Every structure is written in structure tokens, then in C-alpha cells.
Structure 1
């Protein structure tokens, strides 16, 4: 079976984890800081904080940005629900900005129009770098300066990607950024995530929220420490700490991140060539300022022009040993968010995307021969 995504684990990754298992620290040890430092240096950002997953990273990034009750978070409807749920975790309201029909990322034009009309401006905007391609962050950041909101990049798909010749995660055009290290992502720690920022105050808040809101820093305490054992809880925080085993795996994986991304870019370009003359398939567009990490390769099909449904396409491809997927179901159509007042038709570009889109297999170890097999069968199934 050819899955849509798959981790790539080498013996060096296994050895790195075993080394930690034989060490004195399984959690809160030196592997965490080593991993954080490497990712920060790779991205060209001052601070990086490793956490349990990208959802917890989004949560504490929002808390650090001051999001709370009475505030509003805006994000894209075409994302995993975590990009919106993090706002609800903070007791804030959530709203959406429709996508650009070309890149499938948050539309800057729609964002600007919504900002101009909104009676209540967002406290936080979360652009999502879908499939590994950056949003138009320069324009979004300029709007943030004009309208006074914080920008948190949901870069879960985008480690290794570039925007205007800088690495995603450098936070040049944002206050914070978030990575995911889930197994189907480009780099994995099993489960894991990271928050990045250039702001020292935001970094200190993220560290605090990661670990129960507890500090041992004398400068943050309300009274002098009773002894070396002493700590204080000064905020309501969480246990969002990554283990040293995960961090060791992440550090080892990061040694190959450029190799992983290079292979994905090669396979994406090869899909472009193999599919460019196939009727009724629209290939993913790329903004000239971006160089995607290609976490996903999403195609769109106008099902009104073929005699099969999307369900039939998925079933027939699976029968041939190929698992397709779909990223994503528009968040505003989920029952939970419809209870918040959203309804079908609110974001038409996102809903049209959902009707037409599906994700082809793409991962580091996918071979050229497997890719040829995928394309051959897809063409046959679509006929």
C-alpha cells in the first residue's frame, strides 16, 4: 500500500534515541536544549521552545500573545481544526478569512477587506502555510502593524521552506511561528511541536506556559527563595514538555531536513511534469516569493466534467494500492463551529476547494517507480 505520507527513520535516528535511553535524563534534560538551539539556528530565529505537539504550541503561542476572553482570533478555513481550536482554548472567539483560490492560503485581499469592515478587530491572526508554501507574510505583517494584531504563523507544514530568501520560522514577518513534528510531517519526533520567536518577553511566557506556569527564576518570584528546592507557580500553565527521546530524534532528523525537502521538491516537480497534460486536473500553483517544502501535493478536479464522484476515485485508487487523502475539510463546516454560528456558504472559495481537492502521496522515500504507478492509475481512474 502506498500511503499519502510516511516517516523516514534511519539507523542514526534510532541510535540517537537509544543513547538518550541509556543516559541520565529521559525528560527535561540536555537533548531538549540541543534540539531547540539547532532549529533556532537553522531558521535564523532567536528563540525556540520544544513542546508536545503543534496544537499545544499554538495554544501557548496564543496565550503568550495575550489572547483571552472577549478577544477574536482569525485563521484560514482550510486547515486542521487545531489552528482554530487554539483560540477557543483561550476562551476567545474565532473567525475565518477565505482562501486565495490559487495558492489555497489565506487571501490577503480578503483579510484586508474583512479588517476594514470588522467592528471588532482580531487580537491574533494565524496564517496557515498550507502544504508547505508560505502565505504572503510581508503583506500580512504590514496589515498587522496597521490594525494592531499579533501574527502567529502556523508553519506546521513548512519547516525547510523559504519565503523571500529566508527560512520559514525566522519570524521576520510575525510575532511567533509554530512547527509540527508529527510522523507524516517533513521532520518527526513521533509527536511534537515547537514555538519560535524573536521576542524575549514572548519567549519567557511560552516557557512558563509550557511547564505549569512554574518558575525558579528569582527575578520572576514574588519573594526570596526559601532554598534550592524552591519554585513558584505564577501563571496557570500546562504540562506541554517534550521528552528527551523525542528531542534526540528531532535533532537527528534535522540533520537531514534539507535532504528531505530537496527530495520532496524533486517529486513535486515530477508530478507537475507527469500530470501537466492530463485533462480536468488542476495542479498546485506557487507564489514567486516562496519555495515550498512540499509537505503535501494537492490537486483539484472539476467533478462536473467526469462521471465519477470523489468517493469513487478514493475507493478505486485504494483498490489499486494507493491511499489518497484530503487536506482539509473547511473548519467552519464542522458541527462544533456551526454551533458557534457559522454556516455553509460563508467562505465559498474554501468550500469549492473542498469539493475539488485531494492529496496525492508524497514523502521522502517515495520512489520514481511508485510515483509513475500513482499517476498511471490516477489517469485511468479519472477516465
Structure 2
């Protein structure tokens, strides 16, 4: 490995003194979990996204699980999921007993479209209870068109926005406003735009859904609504101070105050994070013009009606490895040997052996075409312009056999 430059991972958090101070303040307080920092984060996130309700949880996977559960997704239901996404978009619905119907994607953006959703719904025996569009890499799917198809099918909409915090939809509304879906899920993983170590958030306009998620993240425990009144109340009519009831079987998906404080501190810098990532993407796009034609940036549908403004989580290039005459693993290993990390987002879910065993083989040419070419290059806030130039120059050298 070239020791002249620091290693560039494909993603990395950006932590400043304010973040450290926010965490330290919690550590010095009386509350490490189930304290005021979670409420403060939920209020700040609701304000930032324009959502009536924001519900924090342990991670982005928990956010998806809570969202599907709040909608009552279960055995006998189908959920339509784009094949190009992380496992959790599908596995959490599967855990609830739902069937998964994989939708194809645009081969140049990996986004679900209204057409690919229509086709998937045609394969959903008995219809679909929910659809789960994914705003991959930070680019928004066309939710006006997708929403129209979903509504005609009678399906709820769970938008997986784990990559897209800070973006705007086709009407200019903040991602998370829930104007285009019933629930929107977010991740606070370190490689995401806002890093809390671990964490997730769900936004919704529906108070009943928000309350059901709050119960689900805390073992289904209620301290206000009681059915066993003989146990719940003292002789004077007041509730017994120790008493609670389990409304339904649930899990511990709570977010700690430590994570919440870090997320809230990061959230204050979200506009700066988004702006810097966009600037880095613009520099990448310009620099890639010098590379051979079989290496290109992902198509940017954001300028077209309905797609909105991205908040870049990933920088993906599409490489025709067959024309290049080198395998993707060879290119990734060559990059790594020169101090540059890369990744693939993602192995399509319809290719996962578990899902093939459950649901059989399905032909999704768009997802397969994306997967054959996709390679994610480093993108994080603390990258310098010179880092982008170095990545592109190194990739150019590798493509030229140097």
C-alpha cells in the first residue's frame, strides 16, 4: 500500500468538538438512556424535516421494523421492495411474516420507478399491503409517480430514506416530511450523512402510527392505558406508580441519550454536510470526464420533474468491466493497494440465496445491469478536493493498466 497518502475509506464520520462536548454533557448527566436527549432529538428532527412526528430507535433496521409493524404488516401481506437495497428493507418485513415481491430498478440509477413498481404489483398475488421505495445513494425516487401507483393498488408507502437525509423531493419539500409516504425511515450509522454511532428515526404524519412505534421500541409497555384496572389502581383511584402493561409483544429498540446527543449535534450541521457532499460529487463528475467512456457517473435524474434534489450518501461509478478487460474485484484490490477503499451497493436481493429459496428466481434485468457495473468510491465530508483528484487519477491509471 502506498504510504504517501492516508487511506481513504468509502465512507467516514465527521466529528468535531461540539459533538464531543454534546456526548460529554450526557455522560456527566443523570440520564444515559430514556432521558431528555431523545425527546430533544425527535423535536429537532421533526423541525428539520417538517414532519409532524419523529420517533427515534436503535438503528435504521429497527426503524424499518417499527414502520412495517406500525402498519400492521404480517402474514398474508406482500411488501414490494426494490431489489437493489440493503438486506433490512426486505428482511424486516419478512420477519413479520410478510411475503416480499422484488421490484426491478432503473439500470442507470438503481431507483424503483412507477413502471417497475407496476410490474412488481402484477406479480404480487393478492396485491400488496405496502411498497418500500429506496432513495439509493441519496437520490430521490420519483415519489409522485410511485405514490400514484401505490395508492391505486391500495398499498401503504414506507420510504427507505436511510441514504437521503437532507435531500428534497420533487416539490422541494425536505426528505422526511412524509408528504409522499406514510412513514419514512432514516439511519444514523457512521457512514451516513449524520452519524450517531448507531441510531434510526422514523417520521410520520399519523399520530396513531407514531404512538404504536413508541410502544414497540420499548417492549410494548404502556404506563397510561390499562385493561387490568384491579391491578393498575390503588384504593384512592390513582394509578399504582410501579404498574405498567404490555400491550403486545415487542422489543427493546430504544436509542440512548448518548447517541441522541451526538445525532442532535450533527443535525445542526446538516446543511453544511449536504453542501460539502454535493461539491465533492460535482468535482468527481467533472474529473470523470477524463476517463474512458466505459467509466461513467451514475445518471442524475434529479434535474427531471419529480426527482428532487439529492443529499449524496454514496458516489457510485458505473464501469463496463467486460470492455475494461478487468474484473471488479481486481479493480477494487488495485485501488486498495494504492490506499483507496471502495464498495459495491448492493448485491441485488433477488440474488441472495435465502430470498431465492423463499421466493424463487425472478428476472430483474435492470437490477442485474446495475450490479454488474456499480462501484462506490470514497465520499465523506472531510475529504479534500485533492482526495477526489487522487481517486479519479488512480482509477484512470488502473483502467489504463498502469
Q: Which residue of 2 aligns with 1:320?
A: 338
Per-residue CA distance 1:131-151 (angstroms, 9 max, x = gap):
011111111211222111110
Per the normalisation by structure 1, the TM-score is 0.97
Return the match for 1:70 from 76, 86, 104: 76
Q: Map of 1:210-249 to 2, 5 A cutoff? A: 210-218=217-225, 221=227, 223=229, 225-226=232-233, 227-249=240-262
Q: Map of 1:181-260 to 2, 5 A cutoff? A: 181-218=188-225, 221=227, 223=229, 225-226=232-233, 227-260=240-273
Is 1:381 matched up with 2:398? yes
Q: Structure 1 residue 324: deviation in Å?
A: 0.9
Conserved 8 A contact 1:215-1:221: no
Q: Which residue of 2 aligns with 1:36?
A: 42
Aligned pair count? 381
Q: Which residue of 1 aligns with 2:104?
A: 98
Runs (5+) with no aligned partner, structure 2: 1-6, 234-239
Q: Structure 1 residue 104: deviation in Å?
A: 1.2
Q: Structure 1 residue 221: deviation in Å?
A: 4.3
Q: 1 CA distance for matches of 2:70 and 2:244?
A: 21
Return the match for 1:141 from 137, 147, 151: 147
Q: Which residue of 2 aligns with 1:120?
A: 126
Q: Structure 1 residue 294: deviation in Å?
A: 0.6
Runs (5+) with no aligned partner, structure 1: none
Return the match for 1:82 from 71, 76, 88: 88
Q: 2 CA distance for matches of 1:322 and 1:294?
A: 19
Structure 1 stretch 61-70 or stretch 346-355: which is displaced more? 346-355
Q: Which residue of 1 aligns with 2:4?
A: none
Q: Structure 1 residue 21: deviation in Å?
A: 0.6
SS state at 2:198 partner: coil
Q: Which residue of 2 aligns with 1:262?
A: 275
Is 1:303 matched up with 2:351? no
Q: Structure 1 residue 291: deviation in Å?
A: 1.1
Per-residue CA distance 1:320-362 (angstroms, 9 max, x = gap):
100111100011111111211333x621111121111100100
Is 1:175 matched up with 2:188? no
Q: Structure 1 residue 222: deviation in Å?
A: 5.1
Q: 2 CA distance for matches of 1:308 and 1:114?
A: 34
Q: Structure 1 residue 116: deviation in Å?
A: 4.4
Is 1:7 matched up with 2:24? no
Q: Structure 1 residue 216: deviation in Å?
A: 1.1
Q: 2 CA distance for matches of 1:223 and 1:194?
A: 34
Return the match for 1:59 from 46, 57, 65: 65
Q: Which residue of 2 aligns with 1:365?
A: 382
Conserved 8 A contact 2:78-2:124: no
Per the normalisation by structure 2, the TM-score is 0.92
RMSD: 1.3
Return the match for 2:136 from 118, 125, 130: 130
Per-residue CA distance 1:259-285 (angstroms, 9 max, x = gap):
011000000011110002421112112
Q: Structure 1 residue 103: deviation in Å?
A: 2.1
Structure 1 stretch 109-118 or stretch 295-304: which is displaced more? 109-118
Q: Which residue of 2 aligns with 1:331?
A: 349
Q: 2 CA distance for matches of 1:103 and 1:167?
A: 21
Conserved 8 A contact 2:101-2:124: no
Per-residue CA distance 1:200-257 (angstroms, 9 max, x = gap):
1111111111110111123x64537321221111111110000000000000000101
Q: Which residue of 1 aligns with 2:365?
A: 348
Q: Which residue of 1 aligns with 2:3?
A: none
Return the match for 1:17 from 23, 29, 38: 23
Q: Structure 1 residue 47: deviation in Å?
A: 0.4
Per-residue CA distance 1:280-321 (angstroms, 9 max, x = gap):
112112222321111001111111211211111011111110
Q: Which residue of 1 aligns with 2:236?
A: none
Q: Structure 1 residue 117: deviation in Å?
A: 5.5
Return the match for 2:54 from 48, 69, 93: 48
